[in-house]
Amino acid sequence: MTTSNPKRQFLRGTRDALPFLLVIIPFAALFGVVATEAGMNVAEVMGFSILVIAGAAQFTAVQLMTENAPTVIVILTSLAVNMRMAMYSASLTPYLGSAPIWQRGLVAYLMVDQAYALSQIKFEMERELTVSERFAYYVGTVAPLAPFWYGASYLGAVAGAQVPPEFALDFALPITFLAMIAPALRTMAHVASALTSVVLALLMAWMPYGSGLLVAAIGAMVVGAQIELYMERRAA
């Protein structure tokens, strides 16, 4: 039995998350610019980035507010964009559920796609990690991301410079997410699940408030689980 080494896992997490700064910084700066152009002051921009800390939901809220949507619709639609995080929360529970409540609270506050995906994939592959090592790794992944999320939001709000369209920054997010997912496609079941997710998400794109993604995700989980069961039975 190896001894628990949370500090080492924290640094691992930080190192694994560093590439995502390439997308976090421009994305946060863009939020600062867009929100300021919509009429928000610096305090409000920072309120969003620090208290809500959810890129896609923040953009959704600002977009709807500039369209003068009713406040209830703004809030509910933006929260719907975040509903995938309930699935993240559930899938982290087997690994972090026995951590102290303050640690689980911190995990919840800091839950972003990048930290979640890195951690979930690592926890699944390295079953021997202790709960405190897992917590340290997770916090380590957010450690470089959160400060730059706040800082770049601020710079976007005060400097307000637009990134020229030739930089094609719209594609920074897809590239980093695909880079994160590709190594996780370890088995037939994972590949089938990912393909199902893509096909269903495209077919369900017409559904309101991003709910199509939730349908696609549930369908993809069922496919993954069923294929895993089938492979196990065949191997037995």
Partner 1 sequence: MEELNHTTVWFVIFAMAIGSFLIRFSFLGIIGDRQMPEWVLRHLRYTPVAVLPGLVAPLVFWPAATGGNPDPARLGAALVTLAVGYFSKNVLAAILSGAATLYGLLFLLG
The verdict on 220 binding partner 1 (CB under 8 A) reads yes
How far apart CA 114 and CA 119 sit, in angstroms, is 8
Question: Rule CB under 8 A: is residue 193 a binding residue for partner 1?
Answer: yes
Interface residue with partner 1, options 158, 159, 188, 198 (CB under 8 A)? 198
Torsional sign, CA 117, 119, 125, 127: negative
Contact between residue 154 and residue 90 where contact means Cβ atoms under 8 Å apart: no
The nearest distance, CB 147 to partner 1, in angstroms, is 18
Determine if 86 is a binding residue for partner 1 (CB under 8 A). yes
- Subset of residues 55 to 84 that bind partner 1, contact rule: CB under 8 A: 57, 61, 65-66, 68, 71, 74-75, 78-79, 82-84
Contact between 152 and partner 1 by CB under 8 A: the answer reads: no
Nearest to 204 by CA among 188, 221, 194, 217: 217
Which member of 5, 89, 130, 132 binds partner 1 (CB under 8 A)? 89
Confirm or reject binding of residue 104 to partner 1 (CB under 8 A).
yes
135 touches partner 1 by CB under 8 A: no
Binding to partner 1 by residue 142, rule CB under 8 A?
Answer: no
Residue 175 touching partner 1 (CB under 8 A): yes
- Picking from 177, 170, 183, the residue whose alpha carbon sits closest to that of residue 198 is 177
Contact predicate 110/146, CB 8 Å: yes
Pick the binder of partner 1 from 25, 54, 142, 146 (CB under 8 A).
Answer: 54
Minimum CB distance to partner 1, residue 173 (Å): 7
Among 29, 117, 142, 152, which residue sits at the site for partner 1 (rule: CB under 8 A)? 117
Do residues 137 and 9 make contact, with C-beta atoms less than 8 angstroms apart?
A: yes
Binding of partner 1 at residue 158 (CB under 8 A)?
no
Distance CA 236, CA 227 (A): 14
CA nearest 55: which of 217, 169, 139? Answer: 169
